[in-house]
Chains A and B, each alone.
Chain A
Amino acid sequence: MKSDVFKLREVQLALILVVLVGIVGARAPVFLTGKSIDSLLTDSAILVMMALAQMLVILTRGIDLSVAANLALCGMAVALIGQKVPGVPLGVLVLVAMALGAVLGALNGALIGLLRLPPIVVTLGSMSVFRGMIFVLSGGAWVSSHQMTREFIAFPLDRLLGLTHLVWFAVAAALIAWFLTRHTRFGRELYAIGNHPVSAGYVGVPVRRRLLAVYAISGMVAGLCGYLWVARYAVAFTEIAYGFELSVIAACVIGGVRIAGGIGSVAGTVLGALFLGVISNALPVVQVSPFWQSAITGTVIVVAVVFNAREGRRAGKQILPLQVRTGEGA
């Protein structure tokens, strides 16, 4: 039912990904082993989750630059709580991380949705504020692995049915995001807002509330990922995930999410994140210098944007509309 063009784009992206993996695998068969793929998925899991949340934001013509700082702040907060207040169960810590992230995101959402401030400015500001807060909380000190409980550190990499918890979280996030965008009123309304914000308001979409919610969700996911990140690398400090928001946005763009809002899919976004994951995991395997890695990532982003722009232009251009087109279409 959905337009074939979109399906095509995602299928294309998937094919490119398979070819890429194939080429790398041909040069370095190690890359195709189960172990290597397992670590590729585990490494990409946080990016997938963050990109999905970012996709929801971008769908509404917004952007959330504060996600990485939010992640770092929440990660630091739970690491400190775990250190200072020993007996708190892990489940509670995870919930605290998510709640804190959601509150921070909701602050962005309030400024953007209720006060109508531009998202890029608001989240640029809150990004710095959140980073500063980490320093305030920790006094600039690190929380390192010996100050964390074994359970705290082990959880992300523990396995369920052969896959790490990180991967399962990403799978769950993808399913939830897919359900949200395809099968709920909320999701439909996000597309409507991004497509035509004024008109969305006129058909009764509560635009402000939706914006508030979408930034809160983005924050909540960042909070969850904050715990996962800190636990996985077993260290928390002021600079963790520094610049990670750009990878998150890059994953969205590569996945075909339109920065101008209204277009984007869960499948595309997941593929976009995996694409970045493959590049960063595969290049070292075939002995390409990490400097090339960022150049290649950049090129891929530009190519993706060129594709997206061409797509948009084809839909917009029509010089002799009525007679010609109804004639064909009838």
Chain B
Amino acid sequence: MQPGAGAAAAPAALLELSGIGKRFGGVRALAGVHLSARGGEVLALVGENGAGKSTLVKILTGIHQPDEGEIRLNGNVLSFANPLEAMRAGITAVHQETVMFDELTVAENIYMGHHPRTGGVPRVDWRRMEAQAEKLFERLEVRLPVRAKVRDLSIAQRHFIEIARALSQEARVVIMDEPTAALSRREIDELYRIVAQLKASGTAVIFITHKFDEIFAVADRYTVLRDGEHVGEGRIADTNEQQLIALMVGRAVTQIYPKTATTPRETVLEVQDLSHPTEFDSVSFTLRRGEILGIYGLIGAGRSELMQALFGLTAPSRGKVLLDGKPLLARTPRDAIDAGIVYVPEDRQHQGAHLEMTIAHNVTLPRLVDFGWWLLGKFRRELELVRRFCERLQLRAANFGQLVAELSGGNQQKVVLAKWLATNPKVMIVDEPTKGVDIGSKAAVHQFISELVAQGLAVIMVSSELPEVLGMADRIIVMRQGRVQREFTRAEATSEAVAAAALGATA
């Protein structure tokens, strides 16, 4: 810590950044970013993926060092050589995917690195540590056994541990990086309550999220980053969703869900009474060509497991699946693909692309069986297939022999879609297609799904994002605890009714 230029900063700001710049090699990640967080306030840090939010968080927590600019805490200029220094200065972060010591207890996780010691021969003072941990949870009004192993806890509970850890170090600035990504509604409410408590105790909270309802629910002020630059800030009370989106993407996004009206045609897929010993029970539904069936539900409602059963990844115990009126028994994904069902799994980073393989090899992978065992001399045929589908998706690449790792995120996604389209599917299951994806790319994915459906594909879209389901689906099935709770037509579905069904309320 370097005591700096005294009380030059505005008195209200606890944390003040100015002119922060950071480059990685030739790539500029941040330039001239300024930000101020006040004690007792929640600042929403908003921006698309790649806008520089994560880099900024890493600078604040001492993982990266800025190339230029100043960090002031309470008016003192600081610089952090490593995460420990940032933590000692009072800045801590709660990450979206919490990394913890699974095999250790709650109390140990909280005090890792600063265990209370006994006098004399220094050793860990277990009793004091556990008592202090309990006091922290009392303060947060959260019930958590401090001797439980973290392995057995939910993601929400892990967040609470991180927050307790922050409190244990008397953190003055707490950064929350998409803390609600994997939480249920109830857990989110509890998190909000804790955020309110942190505020009340004078802590500055920096809240990073992609979800607008959260911004408006918890934040007092906002700062928007775009392409590594500061593009706007202000009070939440003075803005609205449209304005924030316009700031984030640099243009007004008028139509977020490009839903094209299609008339569903004949039934392709019929699921009757499908059951699994532990995950889901007597699920029935139909799917028609040219429609999107949305499957909504809380995490753990059995949605993904149901889809995996349709795709031959798990075996159902009972029930029937009819594809084009013929019974389909998919024991392996191969069977499902051959029959015309494909499953695009949830994968935040790469949507399941094989990064170290070429574009061509990625695209032909699911159809490689058609080429037989020997591939020698079939290069031209493979390339033809690749070209057909890549052109359809307007994939830009120097050549199809390029590694997928070298492509931009958007183009990687196109490679994955080309791969699945190349199998000529009748039914496409997409699992959380836009989770963790920024708004610009989200719209592109939705646009693309709409186009496919217009061409007669049948799509099952599993999603935890209510606006996405409401915006895209023709019909919505709500699952709860492994059963179909209710089915809505597009006209019937309101966000209140669908959410209520997912929670099990009788609306």
Q: Which residues of A contact B (CB under 8 A)?
A: 1-3, 179, 183-186, 188-189, 191-192, 195-196, 198-206, 262-263, 315-326, 329-330
Which of B337, B352, B406 is in CB contact (< 8 Å) with A199? B352
Residues of A contacting B332 in the complex (Cβ-Cβ under 8 angstroms): 204, 206
B354 contacts A319, CB within 8 Å?
no
Assign chain B's interface to a size class. Answer: 35 or more
B374 contacts A192, CB within 8 Å?
no
Residue from B25, B332, B343, B408 whose CB has the most chain A CB atoms within 10 Å: B408
A2 to B376, CA, bound (A): 15
Distance in angstroms from A59 CB to nearest chain B CB is 11
What are 22 A-B pairs at a CB distance below 8 A? Answer: A184-B374, A185-B369, A191-B356, A192-B361, A195-B354, A195-B355, A196-B352, A198-B345, A200-B354, A201-B333, A203-B365, A204-B337, A204-B366, A262-B356, A315-B403, A318-B27, A320-B52, A322-B408, A322-B441, A323-B227, A325-B408, A329-B408
Interface check B50, CB cutoff 8 A: yes
Distance in angstroms from A196 CB to nearest chain B CB is 5
A189 to B364, CA, bound (A): 11
Residues of A contacting B399 in the complex (Cβ-Cβ under 8 angstroms): 1
Residues of A contacting B356 in the complex (Cβ-Cβ under 8 angstroms): 191, 195, 262-263, 315
A202 to B228, CA, bound (A): 36
A-B contacts besides A189-B365, A198-B352, A321-B50, 11 pairs, CB < 8 Å: A198-B345, A199-B352, A199-B353, A202-B311, A202-B352, A203-B365, A204-B338, A205-B365, A262-B354, A320-B228, A324-B27
Which 7 A-B pairs rank lowest in CB-CB distance, beginning with the nearest?
A: A199-B352, A1-B401, A204-B334, A319-B29, A195-B354, A203-B366, A183-B376
A326 contacts B345, CB within 8 Å?
no
Distance in angstroms from A318 CB to nearest chain B CB is 7
Which residue of chain A lies nearest to B438 when distances are taken between CB atoms in the complex? Answer: A322
A3 to B358, CA, bound (A): 8
Residues of A contacting B313 in the complex (Cβ-Cβ under 8 angstroms): 201-202
Distance in angstroms from B51 CB to nearest chain A CB is 9
Known contacts A204-B333, A263-B356, A320-B228; A188/B27 CB under 8 A:
no
B403 contacts A204, CB within 8 Å?
no
A188 contacts B408, CB within 8 Å?
no
A183 to B343, CA, bound (A): 27
Which residue of chain B lies nearest to A199 when distances are taken between CB atoms in the complex? Answer: B352
Distance in angstroms from B25 CB to nearest chain A CB is 8
Residues of A contacting B228 in the complex (Cβ-Cβ under 8 angstroms): 319-320
A199 contacts B440, CB within 8 Å?
no
Which of A192, A317, A329 is in CB contact (< 8 Å) with B398? A329
B50 contacts A322, CB within 8 Å?
yes
B355 contacts A196, CB within 8 Å?
yes
Q: Among residues 356 to 397 in chain B, which have CB atoms less than 8 Å away from a CB atom of chain A?
A: 356-358, 361, 365-366, 368-369, 371-376, 396-397
A263 to B399, CA, bound (A): 20
A188 contacts B361, CB within 8 Å?
yes
Interface check B410, CB cutoff 8 A: yes
Q: Among residues 390 to 428 in chain B, which have CB atoms less than 8 Å away from a CB atom of chain A?
A: 396-399, 401-403, 405-411, 419
Residue from B357, B372, B396 whose CB has the most chain A CB atoms within 10 Å: B357
Distance in angstroms from B200 CB to nearest chain A CB is 36
B398 contacts A184, CB within 8 Å?
no
Known contacts A199-B345, A199-B347; A329/B397 CB under 8 A:
yes
Which of B24, B368, B409 is in CB contact (< 8 Å) with A322? B409
Which residue of chain B lies nearest to A208 when distances are taken between CB atoms in the complex? Answer: B332
Q: Among residues 29 to 62 in chain B, which have CB atoms less than 8 Å away from a CB atom of chain A?
A: 29, 49-50, 52, 55
Residues of B contacting A189 in the complex (Cβ-Cβ under 8 angstroms): 365, 368
B401 contacts A3, CB within 8 Å?
yes
Residues of B contacting A191 in the complex (Cβ-Cβ under 8 angstroms): 354, 356-357, 361
A183 contacts B50, CB within 8 Å?
no
Interface check B486, CB cutoff 8 A: no
Residues of A contacting B396 in the complex (Cβ-Cβ under 8 angstroms): 326, 329-330
A183 to B379, CA, bound (A): 9
Which residue of chain A lies nearest to B406 when distances are taken between CB atoms in the complex? Answer: A315
Distance in angstroms from B57 CB to nearest chain A CB is 13
A322 to B408, CA, bound (A): 6
Q: Mark B60-84, 1 if CB is under 8 A from A, else 0.
A: 0000000000000000000000000
Residue from B55, B353, B368, B374 whose CB has the most chain A CB atoms within 10 Å: B368
Distance in angstroms from B438 CB to nearest chain A CB is 8
Interface check B114, CB cutoff 8 A: no
Which residue of chain B lies nearest to A209 when distances are taken between CB atoms in the complex? Answer: B332
Residues of B contacting A3 in the complex (Cβ-Cβ under 8 angstroms): 358, 401-403
Residues of B contacting A201 in the complex (Cβ-Cβ under 8 angstroms): 313, 333
A326 to B50, CA, bound (A): 14
Interface check B28, CB cutoff 8 A: yes
B375 contacts A203, CB within 8 Å?
no
Known contacts A3-B401, A199-B354, A204-B334; A320/B227 CB under 8 A:
yes
Residues of A contacting B52 in the complex (Cβ-Cβ under 8 angstroms): 319-320
B354 contacts A202, CB within 8 Å?
no
A185 to B378, CA, bound (A): 11
Residues of B contacting A206 in the complex (Cβ-Cβ under 8 angstroms): 332, 334
A185 to B353, CA, bound (A): 18
A315 to B357, CA, bound (A): 12
A192 to B363, CA, bound (A): 12
